[in-house]
Every structure is written in C-alpha cells, then in structure tokens.
C-alpha cells in the first residue's frame, strides 16, 4: 500500500511539473517591442490582447486592444483573463503592475533598456514563460548578429561619415542623446553621436547647434505609419534653414523605419538601415 502511495505521489509530481512547465495560455502584452518578442519566440498564438501601438507583426494588429502604452486600461486587461501580463520597465506605469499583482494577476517585467541587454531580456522572458529553449536560440542569434555588425563596421567604414545626428522631431528639433537605443547603435557601428554629451536622452537642439556641430550625416526616423513623403514634408522647414550645411548640400540625409526605436527582434533591421546609411555594410 505504501509503495502504491509513493508511486502515486511520484506520478502526481511529474504531472504537476509538466503542467507548470507549459507556457501560459493567455498573455497580454503592454508594449510594442514585447509583442514582437512574444511572436518571435513562438508565443504569438497565445497573445490575447495588445496595446494600440502594437503593429508588428501584422497579425498583432487584429488582436483586442487594452489602451495605450503608457495608459493601459486596467478593466480591459482584467477582462481578458490573462495568465500573465508582460510589461516593460521602460515605459509602462509601475503602479499598473502593482495593481495587477494586488488582483492576483501574474506579471513579467522586461527590464532591458539598452542594446547589449536585449539578449538577456529575451532569455529572462523565455524562462519566465517556459519557452527558454526558443528564447535562448533567438538571443544567441541576436548576439551573433551584433558581433558581425560591429566587426563589419570596423573593417568597412566610409571615412567621410564619422559624426551623426539623429533627429526625432524636426520642429522644434528634438534629437537622440546619450543612454538611448539609437546611441547604442551608433557606438556599435563606430559612429560619434553629435548629441552624446547632452544632459538628457532626447535634448532639444537649435538650428545654430546643428550648424556648429556640423554632422557628417543626418538621420530621421519614420514614426508609426508615417511615409517617407510625409516625413520629408515635416522636415522641409528645418532643412531649408540647414541648406548651407555640408551634409545637406551633399545629400547625406537618410530616413530609417521605426525599427530603430524598438528593443526587440526588429532592432537588427534598424541597425542594418543605419549601417547602410552611414557606409558600414
């Protein structure tokens, strides 16, 4: 009788362990980059709701929405009956996570903010959601690609392009400063960010500051669903003021997609775009 009881406990433990190891069935994502990571590690089919800004991959656009990136609706999230809510430390309100926990809803906090932290963040998410193997494969792939881009930039770099300025908003000019994902990409590719010494991550730059800094290349990012034509129209006034700048006269102005702003799998596309713009491919 005792042997049967012990055997029962053993089988029960194995079954419980297997159940615990299964990935969550209902996942709510509170950030666009997290949605992209979830799909990338094979959990897209288990995502039941996303934010209004989760537009990649295309399948995510049809998911129920729970509000904005910084203003998610607690009622909408709870209504989805999630097994887990994935959040980012860099943007989602901390109090929102605490409210979910008080309601007994499990959260996973993605705390990676910098380019070099992305592989670790993916591994942590994979381990928390019980898809560690898939997440580790993806993290290794990203690490390999980052090493390749860095090595390629050292071996093949356009000597005419050393200093760069990334303009997020043309009027009034708002640029990318230190401690940002794009600044990390610049450093990876051996580029000097003209605004690297700014006191904030996204400083305002005057036209005079841009002219004085004389960047070899100016980059701008397409935000959301904006087209190249729309972005050029918005920046027309700024470039009129910069028409005597060497970079503008020589056509060293380049537009990137929104991939450069998202710390997820598409960041490799963003790196490639910047590398192509600056002669580092």
- Could you read off the pLDDT of 138-182 as tens digits, one per residue? 999 999 999 999 999 988 888 999 999 999 999 999 999 999 999
Can you tell me the distance from the alpha carbon of 258 to that of 270, in angstroms, rounded to the nearest whole number?
8
Can you tell me the distance from the alpha carbon of 262 to that of 255, in angstroms, rounded to the nearest whole number?
16
Q: What is the pLDDT of residue 21?
A: 66
Considering its fold, how many domains does the chain have in total? 2
Tokens standing for 148? 């390749």
Among 67, 110, 108, 72, residue whose Cα is nearest residue 89? 110
Q: What is the pLDDT of residue 246?
A: 96
| Phi (first) and psi of residue 65, to 5 degrees | -105, 145
pLDDT in tens, 80-129: 999 999 999 989 999 999 999 999 999 999 999 999 999 999 999 999 99
Q: What is the pLDDT of residue 102?
A: 98
User: Do 181 and 78 belong to one domain?
Assistant: no
Confidence at 10, pLDDT banded by 50, 70, 90: very low
Q: What is the pLDDT of residue 226?
A: 84
Can you tell me the distance from the alpha carbon of 17 to that of 26, in angstroms, rounded to the nearest whole number?
19
Q: What is the pLDDT of residue 157?
A: 83
User: Do 33 and 123 belong to one domain?
Assistant: yes
- The verdict on residue 128 lying in a domain is yes
**Cα 207 versus chain centre, distance:** 29
- The verdict on residue 255 lying in a domain is yes
Q: What is the pLDDT of residue 162?
A: 95
Domain, as residue range, for 169: 157-277
Q: What is the pLDDT of residue 69?
A: 92
User: Which one is predicted more confidently, 238 or 158?
Assistant: 238
> Average of pLDDT values for 37-53?
98
- The verdict on residue 10 lying in a domain is no
Under 8 Å CB-to-CB from 2, ≥6 apart: which residues?
Answer: none
Q: Which CATH number characterizes residue 268's domain?
A: 3.40.50.1980
- The verdict on residue 163 lying in a domain is yes
Among 153, 174, 181, residue whose Cα is nearest residue 279? 153
- The verdict on residue 232 lying in a domain is yes
User: Do 31 and 116 belong to one domain?
Assistant: yes
Q: Pairing between strand 253-256 and 174-175?
A: unpaired
**Mean confidence (pLDDT) of the chain:** 92
User: Do 26 and 100 belong to one domain?
Assistant: yes
Confidence at 19, pLDDT banded by 50, 70, 90: very low
Among 127, 132, 78, 126, residue whose Cα is nearest residue 105? 78
pLDDT in tens, 171-208: 999 999 999 999 999 999 999 999 999 999 999 999 99
């Amino acid at each position: 009788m005792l042997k049967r009881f012990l055997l029962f406990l053993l089988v029960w433990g194995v079954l419980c362990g297997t159940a615990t190891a299964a990935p969550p069935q209902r996942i709510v994502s509170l950030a666009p980059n997290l949605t992209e990571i979830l799909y990338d590690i094979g959990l897209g089919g288990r995502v039941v709701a996303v934010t209004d800004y989760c537009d990649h991959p295309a399948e995510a656009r049809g998911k129920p929405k729970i509000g904005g990136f910084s203003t998610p609706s607690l009622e909408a999230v709870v209504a989805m009956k999630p097994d887990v809510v994935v959040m980012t430390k860099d943007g989602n309100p901390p109090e929102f996570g605490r409210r979910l926990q008080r309601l007994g809803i499990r959260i996973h906090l993605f705390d990676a903010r910098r380019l070099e932290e992305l592989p670790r963040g993916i591994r942590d998410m994979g381990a928390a959601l019980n898809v560690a193997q898939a997440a580790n494969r993806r993290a290794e792939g990203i690490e390999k690609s980052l090493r390749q881009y860095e090595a390629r930039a050292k071996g093949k770099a356009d000597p005419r392009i050393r200093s760069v300025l990334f303009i997020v908003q043309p009027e009034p000019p708002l640029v990318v400063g230190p401690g940002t994902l794009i600044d990390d990409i610049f450093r990876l590719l051996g580029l000097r960010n003209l605004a690297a010494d700014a006191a904030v991550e996204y400083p305002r730059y005057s036209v005079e500051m841009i002219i004085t800094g004389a960047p070899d290349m100016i980059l701008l990012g397409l935000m959301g669903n904006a087209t190249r034509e729309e972005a050029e129209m918005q920046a027309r006034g700024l470039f009129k003021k910069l028409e005597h700048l060497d970079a503008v006269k020589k056509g060293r102005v380049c537009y990137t997609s929104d991939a450069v702003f998202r710390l997820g799998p598409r960041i490799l596309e963003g790196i490639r775009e910047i590398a192509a713009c600056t002669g580092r491919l």
